[in-house]
């Protein structure tokens, strides 16, 4: 049956993400929060994550671009970024955030910029994979008879 | 903007000995009705932490700030377990924990870090938390603590 096939395809895709270290076991717990009362949970969480991470990365970029870097604010943003990525299960991105945090410790701008580039690469990869997961989830939900309209960011029902 | 998913169903109370299964993970249920509070300013973290606590059998509320947490407690709400993020706007996580203890709150209080480096816990520990954890808040870590509370 088409629905079962697509669900199996999604599970295989997520498994591949695990194997590559892009997602870790925590993503399974996040998926476990989706149920008949919250059928769009994964879609919504992915949407929130991508929106927030993009904004935070942009802010960190701005701070590190300044001639005099405000490391206190930068560190706060990096914490936010790592918190979100680890809470989603985005393992490699969480690791890249830790490396960026480590780089801020010594107030060395060049190291921070390199670490930020790595964060951006990992976010780009994670974002791409999450988009695939989201698309598959939407199709599954549509096939299962749920009305999936365009879900505006920040709203759930 | 309306908070997303805040209205999700609280922890399902199952009959004795039954655990909830989800794709191979066995989430517990408890003899007591456990109540929890999540204090986290970050929307995604707050939603996931509340959800994980719910999956682990804890009927959980979630607030964004230390002030909101203190209001709840001042209104008479009681919790078995309180999870507080380190970085909160205005009243910090450790400040929130300290005020709770000063008010006589005896709940299990867990300090939560988005990023932990050794030594970061000192402020939280001085404020009276029982334990601390780097995110994510995982069932594997949470369940033994809840088992103690249930006993």
Task: Note the pLDDT of residue B28.
Answer: 79
Which positions in chain A touch B10 (Cβ < 8 Å)?
Answer: none
Q: Render pLDDT for B97-132 as a digit per residue (tens, 0 to 9).
A: 999 999 999 999 999 999 998 899 999 999 999 999
What is the SS3 assignment for B76? coil
Put simply, the answer to whether A33 touches B48 (Cβ < 8 Å) is yes
Output b/e per residue, A110-120; b: 16+ Cβ within 10 A: ebbeebbebbb
High-pLDDT (> 70) share of chain B, %? 83
Predicted confidence at residue A149, as pLDDT, reads 52
Phi and psi for B111 in degrees, rounded to 5?
A: -90, 135
Closest residue of B to A91, CA-based?
B136
Q: Is A154 part of the contact surface with chain B (CB cutoff 8 Å)?
A: yes
Among A132, A124, A138, smallest CA distance to A13 is for A132
pTM: 0.87
Mean pLDDT of chain B: 86
Taking an 8 Å cut-off on Cβ atoms, the answer to whether A86 and B55 are in contact is no
Number of residues assigned to chain A: 157
Helix axes B43-55, B139-150, angle to 10 degrees: 50
Identify from A8, A27, A30, A33 which residue to disrupt to test chain B contact, counting B C-beta atoms within 10 A and taking the largest count: A33
Nearest to B44 among A28, A88, A156 (CB): A88
Query: For residue B7, what pLDDT is reported?
Result: 35
Instruction: Compute CA A71 distance to the chain's CA centroid, rounded to the nearest angstrom.
Output: 24
Question: Is the pLDDT score of B1 beyond 50?
Answer: no
Question: Which position has the higher pLDDT, B76 or A157?
Answer: B76
Between chains, do A155 and B2 touch, taking CB under 8 Å as contact? Answer: yes
Is residue A78 within 8 angstroms of chain B, CB to CB? yes
Task: Going residue by residue through chain A, which has 157 residues, state the pLDDT in tens, using 9 for 90 and above.
Answer: 556 799 999 999 999 999 999 999 999 999 999 998 899 999 999 999 999 999 999 999 999 999 999 999 999 999 999 999 999 999 999 999 999 999 998 888 999 999 999 999 999 999 999 999 999 999 999 988 754 455 554 444 3
């Amino acid at each position: 049956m088409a629905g079962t096939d697509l669900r199996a395809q999604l599970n295989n895709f997520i498994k591949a993400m695990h194997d590559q270290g892009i997602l870790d076991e925590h993503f399974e717990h996040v998926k476990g929060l989706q149920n008949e009362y919250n059928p769009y949970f994964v879609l919504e969480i992915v949407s929130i994550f991508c929106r927030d991470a993009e904004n935070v990365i942009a802010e960190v970029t701005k701070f590190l671009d300044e001639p005099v870097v405000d490391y206190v604010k930068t560190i706060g943003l990096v914490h936010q970024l790592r918190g979100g990525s680890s809470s989603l299960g985005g393992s490699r991105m969480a690791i890249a955030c830790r490396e960026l945090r480590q780089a801020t410790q010594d107030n060395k701008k060049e190291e921070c910029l390199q670490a930020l580039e790595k964060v951006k690469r990992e976010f780009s990869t994670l974002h791409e994979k999450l988009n695939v997961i989201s698309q598959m989830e939407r199709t599954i939900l549509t096939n299962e008879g749920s009305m999936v309209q365009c879900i505006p960011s920040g709203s759930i029902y | 903007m309306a908070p997303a998913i805040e209205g999700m169903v609280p922890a399902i109370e199952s009959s004795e000995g039954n655990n909830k299964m989800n794709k191979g993970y066995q989430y517990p249920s408890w003899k007591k009705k456990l109540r929890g509070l999540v204090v986290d300013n970050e929307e995604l973290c707050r939603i996931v932490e509340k959800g994980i606590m719910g999956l682990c059998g804890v009927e959980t509320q979630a607030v964004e700030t230390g002030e909101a947490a203190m209001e709840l407690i001042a209104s008479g709400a009681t919790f078995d377990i309180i999870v507080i993020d380190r970085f909160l706007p205005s009243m910090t996580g450790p400040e929130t924990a300290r005020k709770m203890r000063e008010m006589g709150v005896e709940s299990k209080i867990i300090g939560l870090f988005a990023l932990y480096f050794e030594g970061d816990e000192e402020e939280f520990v001085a404020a009276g938390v029982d334990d601390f954890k780097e995110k994510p808040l995982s069932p594997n870590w949470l369940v033994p603590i809840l088992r103690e509370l249930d006993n």
